[in-house]
Amino acid sequence: MSREEISEIIKRRLYAESMGRCMNPNCRCELFRLNGDVIEKAHIDPYCKSADNSFENLVVLCPTCHTDFDKNAAFSPEEVLSWKRIREQEIERFFEIKFSSFEELRNNVVPILMENKTIFEQYYLNNNIKLWREFEPTILINNRKLKAMLINNRDLFQDNPEKEYSNVEYVNIFLQHIDEFETTRGSDEKERQVLFPEVINSIFGISPVKDHLMPSTESLEALISLLNDQGKYGGIKLEASSPYINLYNNGTMRKVFLDDTPQLRQLYFDYNCFRKCKVRLESLIFAMRFIHSRGLSYYYVYNNNLREIVIKGIKIIFVYEYCLSNMMLRMMCPEKDSIIVNLHNWNGKSCISNEAYETAERMGVTLLTMDDFYEFVENTAARLD
């Protein structure tokens, strides 16, 4: 009578249960290695007597421990069965890991996500099913580790009542994916209901996900200020085709694109710098790109104030007001000879009140609508030719 094959679902559960190491608590040697795995599946009650291929009757061991159990009788069936309970307790303790910050969580999660990503891209996407099946247990084990860390550190993720704006919601989807991945057959990938959410790679800064720009310039300025205080700020490029800020992290610099919304959301949450929007970032970026397109250079008066720049010795201040009033102008206390540009141009000339124009003249300040701003930039650029 031929031996019945162990089902793929049982194999997956066994791989995940092992966490990649021999189930003997006095051994725990690695089962998955670069030069091939050494995993062996042992029956607690011998198959020849029980014909039992259930998860409860199987345990994964290294070749040495398997031989000691099956042929040398070094361990009793009751002792081997107890190893499953011991490993379960070890996994539960792993679930209790609590990190003090998202950055600490990120440093532990990113290497695991990167290993999964590499395996998926090299083998699954390249349709190398044989190698995909060989490395799939590594993903199962990595997913168990990720699940433990994410569940116990969910409070470190940005949240929002609107699910599409919530990083916690994407973490929940990823956890569903992990559970489904563990219980589905490798040959049925296309039938999975919960695919890996690419937003996870964005949240952890692995690869960007292009989304909408978050509107608040003030939130971005607050982030820059805090990063600068910690020596992590490496500059910003608003005029780039894909605007970004540079961050120093563990001695290396990485770009955070401003339309990589999940990652930026997470940074805002981690640094507690969500701010009410007064100046819309999209409008400010448009103005900076126009300046750059005319060959003009500029610099920021302060690192953490993106609304004040200098062009050819002239200070320019950007505001975003439906109507720039006389009172608002007085509250700004602008320096003499500075230029104030109202980025809000939906109501044409009416975006600046007559009283504000009169006060600006007495202050020695120039007020510009966006149409006036375009003309100012063109004239400034022409003087350089």
- Which of 126-140, 183-197, 281-295 is predicted least confidently? 183-197
Residue with tokens 């020695």, as numbered in its chain: 364
Q: Which residue has the tokens 């448009």?
A: 286
Inter-CA distances, 124 with 107, 118, 121, 153, Å: 26, 10, 6, 30
Which pTM was predicted?
Answer: 0.83
Q: What is the pLDDT of residues 326-371, one digit of tens each?
A: 999 999 999 999 999 999 988 888 999 999 999 999 999 999 999 9
What is the distance between the alpha carbons of residues 167 and 265, in angstroms, rounded to a whole number?
Answer: 8
104: helix, strand or coil: helix
132 falls in which pLDDT band (50, 70, 90)? confident
List strand residue ranges (DSSP E) for 196-330, in order.
233-237, 244-249, 252-257, 299-302, 305-311, 314-319
pLDDT, one tens digit per residue, over 3-21 is: 788 988 888 889 888 888 9
For residue 280, list its beta bridge partners. Answer: 216
Question: b vs e for 97-129, b when ≥16 Cβ sit within 10 Å of the residue's Cβ?
Answer: eebeebeebbeebeebbeebeebbeebbeeeee
Give the per-residue pLDDT at 348.
83
Q: Say what the pLDDT of residue 275 is.
A: 96
- Average pLDDT value for residue range 94-99: 82
Residue 125 to residues 43, 112, 119, 189, 217: CA-CA distances in angstroms?
35, 19, 9, 11, 39
Confidence class of residue 187 from pLDDT cuts 50, 70 and 90?
very low
Helix (H) or strand (E) holding 162: none
Query: How does residue 35 score in pLDDT terms, banded at 50, 70 and 90?
Result: low
pLDDT, residue 136, reads: 83
Per DSSP (E only), the strands in the chain are: 40-43, 58-61, 233-237, 244-249, 252-257, 299-302, 305-311, 314-319, 339-342, 366-368
Q: For residue 156, how many other CB atoms are within 10 A of its CB?
A: 23
Q: What is the pLDDT of residues 204-238, one digit of tens each?
A: 999 999 999 999 999 999 999 999 999 999 999 99
